[in-house]
Amino acid sequence: MKDHSAVPLAVEPAPAPARQRRRLQAGRHVTPYLLLIPALAVIGGVLGYPLFRLVTLSFQEYGLPELIAHKGRWIGLDNYREIFSDRWFWTVLGRTIAFTAVTVGLTMLFGTLIALLLARLGTFMRLLITTGLVLVWSMPPVVAVNIWSWMVDFEFGVLNWTLAQLGFESYAHHDWFVNPIQGWAIITAIIVWGAIPFVAITIFAGLTQVSGELVEAASIDGANAFRIFRDITLPILKPIFVILASLSVIWNFQVFTQIWVIRNARPEDDYFLLSIYSFVESFNTSQYGLGSAIALVMVLAMLVVTFVYIRQMVRIGEID
Amino acid sequence: MRLRMFATAVLLIALAIAAASATGASQASPARAQADALTVWLMGDAQANWPEAVAAANQSFKSQHPGTDVNVQYQSWGDYKTKFEATLSAGSGPDVIEFGNTDVPKYSAAGALAPLTRSDFPNSGTWLSGLTKAGSYNGKLYAVPYYAGARGVIYRTDQYQQAGITKTPKTLAEFNAAMAKLMKKFGGSKNPTYSAVYFPGRYWYAAMSFVYDYGGQIATTKNGKWVGALNSPKALSGLTAWRNVARSFSRANKTGDEAHPQQALVFAKGKVGSFVGNGWEWPYALDPKLGNPSLSNKIGAYPMPSHTPGKYMPTFLGGSNLGVPVTSKQKALAADWIAAFTNTANMTRMATGGGVIPNTTSLAKINAAKPTLAPFAEAAKYSWFVPSTPNWANVESANVLQSMLSGILRNPSKTKELATAASARITEILNSR
């Protein structure tokens, strides 16, 4: 690993007067930070202030009367006490963790498989599949979920119709959300479908780092495809996997839109995730303090994962 | 080096100026426009069913107040409360807003609406008592009655005839017998998706009618506290009666409701014998684009019969009220617009064109005279309403009744447990601060 601190001194032009040299070094260090100020100001305004408000709201009682008076009532940790002593919160938290684990696992699996496929295809097919992936990726979530919702509709959905045509008569009028397992299967399919393109394309880009000679040498030595993947591809791609997994966990933990739209803005208890619980508490029962506390708990849970993600990003930066 | 620093500084200043002027410009224009325009939030129903009434109100208001424009914005039932609360927080919002009558107590109790003077509004002496009660709190009026809706059974006269049903049912027992005849003639294995009466699982407005018909209630007061009462013996009889109707004669979605898809449109597709609907759902089934206009002489309606001979099953007295938010800066103008919108001429338009019950008993003659309105006005003679407490809106938002009902349809043996659990939740929510 190079020692960065040693480099500037090594390339400094030799007979420079002391005052000029100091100004040179000072200028080079300040400019990047000056250029960062507009971006930081925007981030501070758009993200920082609402986060600050979220934290302060979570320690207040803030219902409808307080909303109108623009003044909350400080109750300290009461909101948090209420959340953590509520069995429903722990149920929803457990379900959110399980949902995140399953969706991230499936996304990484299918994303990797598709990326490996892309690496072996000819140009035309690769272009076709990549175009398909990008089209999926670019579709706004609300539009996509509405169409999915129609496809699995009870009365007029194409999925029920197809199954009935194929001979499964009992599916002619099948409500996919009566049984939570079937309902979650549909929702998981929607989430994974939307998440695969990013993962697949990123891993495909990463696969270009795997040198062809190494793979050839390994296959001459008698390694099969699985061993090549496990012993050569995986170690090289590990940083990318860590980053993608972290991002996927952060995104899937917060899933809200898909479930909200497909249950017509009134999700049953079986379909509650933390994000929905927070929204319902805030906007449906107008308990903004309680909803903020739940949201903050989500943020803190994600901080752990974010830490892993940022540490990995920094590590990659150091390698370069 | 100096040049580079200078260039950086210029760039930063330019960006800052651009950002400031952008926000400045966008803030200036709306403020100027708001001072002149009256903002009115109505539901999409008004745009679809009585646009002439809205236009007439705007015209009459303009002639009274020539300098003020009216900006009518149509909302959807799903998210209008969230939008309204956001405007409360911002301190600026609509000047007039339409509420569902079950939602008004929550906002009037919290002080979100400005008090109004009853005598300022037309026909206020003969307003429907149900709507007036919903729009008042602690003796003051906060939201003006707009229109009411009562539900009746809308049915296919040709299908009833073919199934051998000669007269419309007058008791619940006759109703069940008629449904059985319909299922025998049109449903069963020949047509597994046919419903004699289309009854989605979460349609609580119609399902709770059974509870009230058997003498039960959603909640009662005891020593000043609310207690959920869905697990009382009478309520359970009602729920069981409803469960039998829905499971035997309906093939509608057990976890669906009456609006997704719109039940009138499913009825129009032909595989439904009858459904429990509002007056406006009759013309909606005949909509040229979404419904089936060829059914126009094959539809009728009758009040849902009670299990007690000689009475009707109590119908939910739905409806809307119009209020003036406390954040409005033109409260007097807002009240004038409401008065222009709810005058006798407009009420007549809404009743005849839109098929709803006007807000005053003085126009009851219109209801009785029109064949598409008379059955619903007749059904309104026996009605029920939700517990009148500000926290009721939260019970609706928490889906307590809907979840209980769809749970009962899916697990009929668990009716008592589900009713008890729902009662406990209602008690908790209604008594919360």
pLDDT in tens, A94-130: 999 999 999 999 999 999 999 999 988 999 999 999 9
Residues 6+ apart with CB under 8 A from B406: A268, B201, B202, B254, B255
Cβ contact (<8 Å) for B256 and A175? yes
- In tens digits, chain B (433 residues) has pLDDT values of 566 666 665 666 656 555 554 444 444 444 444 457 899 999 988 888 889 999 999 999 999 999 899 999 999 888 899 899 999 888 888 999 999 999 999 999 989 999 999 999 999 998 988 888 889 988 899 999 999 989 999 999 999 999 999 999 999 999 999 999 999 999 888 888 899 999 999 999 999 999 999 999 999 999 889 999 999 999 999 999 999 999 999 999 988 889 888 899 999 999 999 999 998 889 889 988 889 999 999 999 999 999 999 999 999 988 999 999 999 999 999 999 999 999 999 999 988 877 788 998 888 888 888 888 889 988 888 888 888 888 898 898 888 999 999 999 989 999 999 999 999 999 988 998 6
Cβ contact (<8 Å) for A284 and B394? yes
Distance from CA of B167 to the nearest CA of A (A): 31
B291 close to B268: Cβ distance less than 8 angstroms: yes
Q: How far apart are CA B427 and CA A251, in angstroms?
A: 37
B103 close to B81: Cβ distance less than 8 angstroms: yes
Q: Name the residue among A104, A75, A236 with its Cα closest to residue B433.
A: A75
Distance from CA of B60 to the nearest CA of A (A): 32
Q: How far apart are CA A155 and CA A158, in angstroms?
A: 9
- Quickly tell me which residue has 């407490």 as its tokens: B389
Distance from CA of A179 to the nearest CA of B (A): 10
Distance from CA of A154 to the nearest CA of B (A): 7
Q: How far apart are CA B399 and CA B179, in angstroms?
A: 29
Which pLDDT does position A15 carry in this prediction? 52
Residues 6+ apart with CB under 8 A from B401: B204, B207, B208, B218, B395, B422
List B301's β-bridge partners, or say none: B154
Where helices occur in chain A by DSSP H, the ranges are: 7-11, 18-43, 49-58, 64-69, 78-84, 87-120, 123-138, 141-151, 158-165, 180-207, 212-220, 225-228, 234-253, 257-262, 274-279, 288-319
Residue type, A122: G
Identity of the residue in B78, B193, B255 whose CB atom sits nearest the CB atom of A172? B193
Q: Name the residue among A251, A270, A258, A253 with its Cα closest to residue A149.
A: A258
CB pairs under 8 A between A and B: 90
Cβ contact (<8 Å) for B4 and A280? no
Contacting A with CB below 8 Å, chain B residues are 1, 4-5, 8-9, 12, 15-16, 19, 78-79, 81-82, 85, 88-89, 91, 106-107, 110-112, 192-193, 202, 251, 253-257, 260-261, 266, 326, 394, 397-399, 402-403, 406, 410, 429, 433
Burial A8-39 (b: 16+ CB within 10 A, else e): eeeeeeeeeeeeeeeeeeeeeeeeeeeeeeee
Cβ contact (<8 Å) for B88 and A67? yes
* Residue of B397, B425, B426, B432 to mutate for A, most A C-beta atoms under 10 A: B397
The token duo for B170 is 């007058």
Helix, coil or strand: residue B61:
helix
The sheet carrying B299-302 orders its strands as B195-198, B272-278, B151-156, B299-302
Q: What is the DSSP string of B264-308?
A: HHHHHTT-EEEEEEETTHHHHHT-TTTS-GGGTTSEEEEPPBPSS
Residue type, B108: S
The backbone torsions φ and ψ at residue B384, rounded to the nearest 5 degrees and listed phi first, read -135, 160
* Residue of B12, B260, B391 to mutate for A, most A C-beta atoms under 10 A: B260
B229 close to B397: Cβ distance less than 8 angstroms: no
Q: Does A280 touch chain B (CB under 8 A)?
A: yes
Q: How far apart are CA A223 and CA B148, in angstroms?
A: 77
**Closest-CA residue of chain B to A156:** B261
B305 close to B330: Cβ distance less than 8 angstroms: no
Distance from CA of B397 to the nearest CA of A (A): 5
For residue B19, list chain A residues with Cβ-Cβ distance below 8 A.
38
For residue B251, list chain A residues with Cβ-Cβ distance below 8 A.
173
The token duo for B144 is 């003006």
List B272's β-bridge partners, or say none: B195
Asked if this assembly's ipTM is beyond 0.85, the reply is no
For chain A, the first-to-last Cα distance in angstroms comes to: 9
Q: Does A12 touch chain B (CB under 8 A)?
A: no
Residue type, B33: A
DSSP state of B309: T
Residue type, A216: E
Identity of the residue in B78, B110, B256 whose CB atom sits nearest the CB atom of A65? B110
